[in-house]
A = this chain, B = another copy of it.
Amino acid sequence: MARKRKGLLLVVSGPAGVGKGTVNAMLMQRHPEIKMSVSVTTRAPRPGEIDGVHYFFRTKEEFDRMIEENAFLEYMHVFGMNYYGTPRSFVEAEREKGNHVILEIDVQGAMKVKEACPDAVMVFIAPPSLAILKSRLVGRGTETQESIDVRTATALNELKMLPQYDYMVINDVLEEAVGEMESILTSELLRTERNTTLIEKLTGGETI
């Protein structure tokens, strides 16, 4: 569709091991108009990391100023640790261009974004079962038994937040999950509340 519409902010959460990174990567591969949100951090760049691509690297002073200026959709600010935040300006600039922004974030961060940006589309990627999620974590071969137990317990708590999201995509067959994400994007763009300008033009006799 060539009709110019503001892009969407897609907030994507899901337990570790559910495959949300793979789903989002495939989605972005197919749709160049979908961008991954770039976070601001106070940690030092690792070799190869580029400012504005992997992260926006900022000092603690700069980060604090951004907080004061309400420049974040959400941020994590734990005493003695590095800070991380989602800059509002990046998200808004991409959306104004008509691009969609994916923000992969944990449930706590997601709830803050929902409050800061009520028109965000909230998607939870769920496993077909907790047992399958656990077996995927085991299958990675990189997690200790303790880490797997912790992650599975965390996953259950995350799943309990599902009703706070708009959509649930079950990552069973990857191809289907990606197709469902595409349907969510397509249909959300058709929501009448996202098309008030087009509707005004139409009732004013213009072609849209």
- Which residues in window 153-184 of A have CB below 8 A to B? 156, 159-160, 162-170, 176, 179-180, 182-184
B residues near A170, Cβ cutoff 8 Å: 1, 3, 208
**What is the interface residue range for chain A against chain B?**
35 or more
Q: Report A179-205 CB contacts with B as 1/0, cut-off 8 Å.
A: 110111011101111011011001101
**Who on chain B is nearest to A1 by CB?**
B176
Copies of this chain present in the complex amount to: 2
Are A202 and B126 in touch, CB under 8 angstroms? Answer: yes
Knowing A192-B168, A193-B163, A199-B168, the reply to whether A128 touches B183 (Cβ < 8 A) is: no
B-side contacts of A168, CB under 8 Å: 190-192, 195, 198-199
14 cross-chain CB contacts under 8 A: A129-B202, A129-B205, A129-B207, A132-B207, A159-B202, A164-B192, A166-B191, A168-B192, A168-B199, A169-B190, A183-B186, A183-B190, A186-B187, A187-B188
